[in-house]
Amino acid sequence: MKMAEAVDLDQRDVNELNTHVKVMFEDVLAEPEGAHSPDCLWNFSHSCFNCGKTCCYNFLSSLCGLFIALAWGCEFGTVVFQHVWCYTPCLRIMAIYFVCFQKYFGTVISCCLAPLCESCGLFFSRINVYNHSQTNF
């Protein structure tokens, strides 16, 4: 069994799955021109926001992260199991059977509809259409 690859601790979203999650202070709070709070209050708000966000995220990750990761791991393991052992073999056997059905129905259509279509073609091939540019009343 192959050992698990080392996790990149610097770049934790290498596939950019969560680029839509904007949680930086500047992404959440902004004061419009003409409505500024005092600079010291804005700086302290920035510090409080970052501290609260970091503490809350770390607390919830520590409390629930391992269990949620385990649950999602089991979920994706179940999905892989279903595809490997159930869906893919089912699709393969359906493809095998449908080749036979395709040949059978192709033969039936060739025998029943082809003569009818050929007769209609011969019947309508005798029709001539003339376009007269002048009409006499």
DSSP per-residue letters across 19-56? TT---SHHHH--PPTT----HHHHHHHHHHHHHHHHHH
Q: Which residue has the tokens 């073609």?
A: 121
Q: Residue 6 pLDDT more than 90?
A: no
Could you tell me the CA-to-CA distances from 69 to 19, 73, 110, 132 in Å, in that order?
20, 6, 57, 80
Q: Rounded to two decimals, what is the model's pTM?
A: 0.59
Residues 40-64, mean pLDDT to the nearest whole number: 96
Rounded to 5 degrees, φ, ψ at 6 are -65, 140
Confidence (pLDDT) at 71: 98
CA–CA distance, 63 with 51 (Å, rounded to integer): 18
Residues 88-112, mean pLDDT to the nearest whole number: 93
User: What SS3 class is residue 99?
Assistant: helix
**25-42 residue pLDDT tens:** 999 999 999 999 999 999
